Structures are given as structure tokens and as C-alpha cells.
Amino acid sequence: MKCTFGLFSVLCAAGVLALAGCESDGDSGSGADAVNLGIPDRAWDPGHDDVGWCGETCIQMALGYYGREISQAAINQAAGSPSDITEDDLDVALRALGVPYEAWDGSNRDVNAFIEWIKSQLARGRPVICGTKIYPDEHPDWYVDHFVLAVGYDAAGLILNTQLDCDGQVHAAYAALASTSAGYAFQNRQQRYFGRAILGAR
């Protein structure tokens, strides 16, 4: 997984990313009708060229929600990553920073169950770092193109902090998240889903 400026700028110019007010096929059915943790979106630290710090920024936003401020550079250093954080590096960073988290059961290949799990965590007041695909798919061999922070939901979809200037905070319809249509989605060819619910900050 690499958060590349080229991919995002092309998608933004094409206007294919999920926007607020997307239509949905209805409520995916869990817990309260709506939850919003009120976490504002943040951008990547300036100075990056071809890769972005989406994982670092998600961790930064989640910890900020719990009252712990830490720089993206410090998070990157905690991961021991030479560039940006990958799926494996994200867990390394969380453990190095002493951040308690709950991981999605990676053996479960049901995308709708994954969405329900995210909603259940949000209903408990826990922001969730999620791996997403961004379609059209430039890297079909990756199951994660980008990390976003899920910060809320309603009957129509999830509220995601994307850290991208062209998007910011978006409302992604459940049907889109479970598909391979244009924009942000959890569905991927590998049917693997990445989620880390952040339980607090030490």
C-alpha cells in the first residue's frame, strides 16, 4: 500500500470519489441510528513528495480524539518505516506507542460483517482506522490503497476522514463500500479487510 499523490489527484480531477449525501440502499442495520464522534479531518504534514502519511494521520486523529497529541513524524518513527506506514507497520506503530486497539478478525471475508463491526465500534465511542480501496483500481494486487478514519455513521453510510484536500471528510454509502464501483470501498479482489478500533490513549 502506498498513498500516492498521483492516484488521488487523478481521482479528484475525475470527480469519482464518494461525497457527502451519497444515496444508499438503506441502513445496514446495527445499533444506534446515527453516531458522530466529532473528529475533524486533518491533512498530511507538509513536505511529502510521492507518498503520503495516511496511516500516520489516522493514528494522529484517533489519538487526538482521546486527548493525546503526537506528530505524524513521531508516529512514522515509531513504526520504523522508511517511507509511509503499511498495514504491518501500522500495528507496529500502535504497539510502540502503547495504544490499545482491537483488530478486525482478518479470517472473516464478509464485507458487510466488516461494516457492521465498524459501526459497533463507533457506537461504543471508538474511532476505527480502515484500509480502503479507491476505484478505478490502479493496483488490483493490493487489498489496501489508502487508510481512512471512520468517525461516524447514519442510516445511509459511514463518515470517513480521508486527509485529502480534494475530499476531507466524506459520507460513503454502505452499498458503495461493499462494491467495486468508483470511489472509496472496502471490497477488494482478495476479500481481505483491515480495521483497527482505537480504544484509548496511554
Task: Evaluate whether 127 touches 62 at the Cβ level (below 8 Å).
Answer: yes
**pLDDT beyond 90 at 176:** yes
Domains and CATH numbers, the chain: 5-198 (3.90.70.10)
Q: pLDDT category, 16, cuts 50, 70, 90?
A: very low
Residues forming beta bridges with residue 117, ordered by sequence position: none
Q: For the chain, how far is it from start to end, CA to CA, in angstroms? A: 28
pLDDT at residue 110, as a whole number: 97
25 has a pLDDT exceeding 50: no
Cis amide linkage into residue 82, ω under 30° from 0: no
Q: Residue 81 in contact with residue 125, Cβ under 8 Å?
A: no
Stronger pLDDT, 95 or 25, i.e. the higher one:
95
| pLDDT reported for residue 50 | 54
pLDDT at position 47, please? Answer: 67
pTM: 0.84
